[in-house]
Amino acid sequence: MNITVIYGQQHRGNTWRLTKLFLDQFEGAAITEFFLPQSGPLYCTGCMRCINKGETYCPHAETVQPIVEAIDQSDLIVFASPCYVMNMTGQMKSLMEHLAYRFMSHRPEPSMFRKQGLVLSTAAGAGAGKTTKAIAENLFFWGVAKIYRYGVAIQALDFEQISAKRKHKIERRVNRIVRILKRNTGRVKPGLKSKFMFAIMKLAQIQNEWNPTDREHWVKHGWLAE
């Protein structure tokens, strides 16, 4: 099993600790990790080249594409960001902006329709749920078939200080999600919501030819002929 993990932070703090609880249960898996911003792109310049001309024209393609390749080769993709001011970190948002060209409205990557996504966040008090929701929304628009979210309010200064009772509750939830992820591996199919969104985007492609780069992608995959 291949797993790619993208951290919205560089330090090994609470979010890393939560992610580790998951990863430790995937013995034998090939795990590729990216820590942002060190191994991620700078801020999106808004040049639109990725969308209009192709992703290799992005001025930050050199840092974005290795992440994309790892994602594409994975069965499970994990996005883990601490909650900073009620949302994902700036560096995680920056990566998301660089992947806008993969939205179903543009050029979705077919392998996404068979992948599982896991979105994790920690907050001191409020905002972990909002953070996972915002990241998961991106995964949905890429076409990721199954997306699981877990946002934890640490309610302590760090992971070590979480009460035993609370830690136990976190571990139970982690174990439950891991069981589902393992059970689904190799037999993931997109849900109704994804299929519906894809159908709407297909209609948009049929009716509009405003972006030839996107259209070529849809034609190449035979999606307009089906």
Ligand X SMILES: Cc1cc2nc3c(=O)[nH]c(=O)nc-3n(C[C@H](O)[C@H](O)[C@H](O)COP(=O)(O)O)c2cc1C
User: How would you list the strands of the sheet with 30-35, edge to edge?
Assistant: 30-35, 2-7, 76-82, 116-123, 146-153
Q: Is 29 helix (H, G, I), strand (E, B) or coil?
A: coil
Q: Which stretch binds ligand X (CB under 6 A): 80-88, 99-107, 189-197, 209-217?
A: 80-88
Q: Which stretch binds ligand X (CB under 6 A): 9-17, 26-34, 37-45, 160-168?
A: 9-17
One of 108, 117, 127, 143 touching ligand X (CB under 6 A): 127
One of 27, 28, 46, 85 touching ligand X (CB under 6 A): 85
Distance of alpha carbon 45 from alpha carbon 15, whole angstroms? 28
Residue 86 in the binding site for ligand X (CB under 6 A): yes
Closer by beta carbon to ligand X, 81 or else 138: 81
| 135-164 binders of ligand X (CB under 6 A) | 154
Q: Which stretch binds ligand X (CB under 6 A): 124-132, 165-173, 188-196, 215-223?
A: 124-132
Non-local CB neighbours of 124 within 8 Å, separated by 6+ positions? 153, 154, 155
Residue 178 in the binding site for ligand X (CB under 6 A): no
Residue 192 in the binding site for ligand X (CB under 6 A): no
Non-local CB neighbours of 18 within 8 Å, separated by 6+ positions? 80, 120, 122, 150, 152, 159, 170, 174
Closer by beta carbon to ligand X, 18 or else 197: 18
**Total binding residues toward ligand X, as defined by CB under 6 A:** 17
> Closest by alpha carbon to 82, among 38, 123, 138, 118?
123
Closer by beta carbon to ligand X, 11 or else 220: 11
Closer by beta carbon to ligand X, 112 or else 123: 123
Residue 14 in the binding site for ligand X (CB under 6 A): yes
Rounded to 10 degrees, what is the CA torsion of 219, 221, 222, 223?
A: -90
Radius of gyration of the chain (CA): 18
Q: At 31, list the tokens.
A: 């795990």
Residue facing ligand X at closest CB distance: 13
> Residue 213 Cβ, how far from ligand X at the closest point, in Å?
37
Q: At 168, list the tokens.
A: 């136990």
Query: What residue ranges bind ligand X (CB under 6 A)?
Result: 9, 13-16, 82-86, 122-127, 154
